Amino acid sequence: METTLPPFIPVRYEIVLIPGYAVCHGIDNRGTKCIVNLIEKPEDILFIPKDRPMLTGWKGRHIGWMAHPNAVVVRDDRFDPDPMPCW
């Protein structure tokens, strides 16, 4: 018998900034996270400070990420000497 997983349908999105990347996770109603978008060198593309951490709570549309306008920045580890993994 073949088992199929239910489709992954994100209900919200979160942005995590790590050194060199901006990662957007989709999160479904079960709390499962999946990377749905990744930007390399986000400081060159998005409107985020290059020299200091960004406050959490900003939305994608505020920083110029039109692919995920309602995603919320939940963590900025770009300046942390030991950044947490993005997952």
pLDDT in tens, 19-76: 999 999 999 999 999 999 999 999 999 999 999 999 999 999 999 999 999 999 999 9
List the domain range (segments joined by +) for residue 45. Answer: 12-76
Distinct helix (H) and strand (E) counts, the chain: 1, 4
Residue 86 lies in a domain: no
Give the model's pLDDT for residue 7: 87
Task: Sheet with 72-76: list strands edge to edge.
Answer: 33-40, 21-27, 12-18, 72-76
Residue 82 lies in a domain: no
Number of domain units in the chain = 1
